[in-house]
């Protein structure tokens, strides 16, 4: 298993009584799965994502990533695993607009010890995989929203991470661009990538094999999707 969560709990002690953000959440995610995490605003899904991606620690229960518990790692180790073992795609893209597509995708590799030739090959391969090979030298700020998100996916791929987290990846896109981004994630899954998608959009979530629903900080359901949804441009809402 890539991810194993057991009786996970997260409390915030800035109030009396403490605020319970997550309680008794348990699930596991195997290599190569495509899982969506859904829930209304305030449900705890963002807190769960922060814990899964090592941005926060639980106050109870256990979380194991690639067999190692989060409580067994110090902050430096967590940062190293987060950089090499996880890829991230955000709603806001988080690109540097004055840097080229090549330079943006290279960022996760800046502190790696990869030879220059292999680094270049990885960047070009990642950008080509999202259909933007001809945009390598273009400044990111000159791209459309859909193209920016595809660059963000390429950046997430470039370290060959075991898992890719996609946090509301279609939230800032029109329906056509959103559909294209989801088709890319779907294709990456078909190629063996593990993808964890956080979304409030049912049509987007249905690309996954499973949908985990969080409500009021607890796991409401964990159900398989009967058939991976494949849509035509403009069908995503």
- On whether the CB atoms of residues 93 and 173 are closer than 8 A, the answer is no
pLDDT of residue 96: 96
From CA 180, how far away is CA 144, in angstroms rounded? 13
183 exposure class (CB count in 10 Å sphere: 0-12, 13-18, 19+): middle
Please list the pLDDT of the chain residue by residue as tens digits (237 residues).
999 999 999 999 988 889 999 999 999 999 999 999 999 888 999 999 999 999 999 999 999 999 999 999 999 999 989 988 999 999 999 999 999 999 999 999 988 888 999 999 999 999 999 999 999 999 999 999 999 999 999 999 999 999 999 999 999 999 999 999 999 999 999 999 999 999 988 889 999 999 999 999 999 999 998 754 544 344 443
Nearest to 170 by CA among 156, 153, 154: 153
pLDDT of residue 231: 45
> In terms of residues, how long is the chain?
237
- On whether the CB atoms of residues 100 and 138 are closer than 8 A, the answer is yes
pLDDT of residue 235: 44
pLDDT of residue 232: 39
């Amino acid at each position: 298993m890539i991810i194993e969560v057991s009786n996970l709990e997260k409390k915030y002690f800035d109030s009396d009584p403490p605020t319970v953000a997550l309680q008794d959440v348990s699930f596991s995610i195997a290599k190569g799965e495509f899982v969506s995490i859904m829930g209304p605003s305030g449900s705890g899904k963002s807190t769960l994502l922060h814990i899964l991606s090592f941005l926060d620690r639980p106050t109870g229960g256990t979380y194991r990533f690639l067999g190692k518990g989060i409580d067994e790692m110090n902050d430096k180790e967590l940062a190293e695993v987060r950089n090499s073992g996880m890829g991230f795609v955000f709603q806001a893209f988080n690109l540097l607009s004055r840097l080229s597509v090549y330079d943006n995708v290279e960022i996760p590799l800046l502190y790696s010890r990869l030879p220059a030739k292999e680094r270049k090959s990885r960047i070009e391969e990642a950008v080509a995989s999202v259909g933007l090979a001809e945009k390598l030298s273009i400044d990111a700020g000159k791209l459309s929203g859909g193209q920016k998100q595809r660059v963000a996916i390429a950046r997430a791929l470039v370290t060959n991470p075991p898992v890719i987290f996609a946090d509301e990846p279609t939230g800032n896109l029109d329906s056509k661009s959103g559909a294209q981004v989801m088709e890319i994630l779907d294709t990456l899954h078909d190629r063996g990538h593990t993808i964890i998608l956080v979304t409030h959009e049912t049509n987007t979530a249905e690309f996954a094999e499973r949908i985990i629903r969080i409500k009021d900080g607890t796991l409401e359901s964990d159900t398989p999707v009967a058939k991976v949804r494949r849509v035509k441009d403009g069908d995503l809402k």
